[in-house]
Amino acid sequence: MESEHSNRWVWAGRVLSGLAVAFLLFDGAIKLMRIAPVAESFGRLGYPPESAVGIGVVELGCLAAYLFRPVSIPGAVLLTGFLGGAVASHVRIGDPLLSHVLFPTYVGALLWTGLFLRDSRLRTLLSRKGVPQ
């Protein structure tokens, strides 16, 4: 019975992680494609359009770390930093709060919640038992 319950949590974590991963994979991939909408959005954010490819490579590299179980926790930390940069960029130009500024925060919440539900190492690390006395 206990394993059935934990199996549901693991699957819920996979679904939440999958939603965030799908968005980040799409977002990173379009940055590599050098398409007009990406160049326009980079220009609007004050970044040179040619920097999109490098930023896309960094995003996909952080995502790869998140997906590779031995380094998924550091990968989540790296993605959190990456998403924080997106928040700062949107704040700087005065974008709307709920739709633009906080959207990367929503993605980060999905990443961390999904990882927490599917990875017992993170649950142990964050539990009282996992904290050294």
Please tell me the distance from the alpha carbon of residue 60 to that of residue 115, in angstroms, as a whole number: 17
Q: CB-based burial of residue 39 (10 Å sphere; 0-12 exposed, 13-18 middle, 19+ buried)?
A: middle
The yes-or-no verdict on residue 37 having pLDDT over 90 is yes
Q: Are 63 and 75 in contact (CB under 8 A)?
A: yes
pLDDT digits (tens, 9 = 90+) for 67-121: 999 999 999 999 999 999 999 999 999 999 999 999 999 999 999 999 999 999 9
